[in-house]
Amino acid sequence: MHLAFAAADEGESSGSILLPELPDLIWGTVAFVAVLIVVIWKVLPRINEALDARKDAIEGGIQRAEQAQAEANEARDQYTAQLAEARGEAGRIRDEAREDAKRIRADLVEQAQAEAARIVANAQAQIEAERSAALVSLRSEVGTLAIDLASGVVGESLSDDKKASALVDRFLADLDGTKKAKAGK
């Protein structure tokens, strides 16, 4: 190997890869510069556009995600507020319903008591009317029986209405007095 390096040093142009000749070096440099210009002029802007688009897409995605998160938080807050409002409204409605039920119950009790009082008053009035009618009928019957009985005892006819009426009234008054005396004992 030592011989191969020695030959390259002596100026042999055997085409060494490591030591190009001057025209190859110039043409290589010109080709490199041409490719570099094309890359800088055509390829690099496209790569930058692609990178910028990717950057915008990522940043836009992040912004959209943040915006969606903010909207979701706002919607959650609105939902929570509406839920609290609905619960409050339900409580208020429940309280109103209880108050209405109490008021209706009180009205029904009052109506029932008024109706019961009316029925009792009507019944007492009817009982009193029937009692009065029975007393009138009974007085008439008792009066007739008393006159017939008295006529039989006395042996004469008591046809005078004034005498008969006075006799019946005195007899009934004696009966009421006896009844009150017994009740007082």
* Cβ(164)–Cβ(143) below 8 Å: yes
Residue 180 has pLDDT above 80, yes or no: no
* Cβ(121)–Cβ(150) below 8 Å: no
Side-chain-side CA neighbours of 82 within 13 Å: the count stands at 6
Closest by Cα among 22, 24, 21, 2 to 12: 21
User: What is d(CA 49, CA 61) in angstroms, rounded to the nearest whole number?
Assistant: 18
80-139 per-position pLDDT tens digit:
999 999 999 999 999 999 999 999 999 999 999 999 999 999 999 999 999 888 888 887
Q: Is the pTM of this model over 0.75?
A: no
User: Tokens representing 82?
Assistant: 């509406």
37-83 per-position pLDDT tens digit:
999 999 999 999 999 999 998 988 888 888 999 999 999 999 999 99
133-144 per-position pLDDT tens digit:
888 888 778 777
User: What is d(CA 81, CA 94) in angstroms, rounded to the nearest whole number?
Assistant: 20
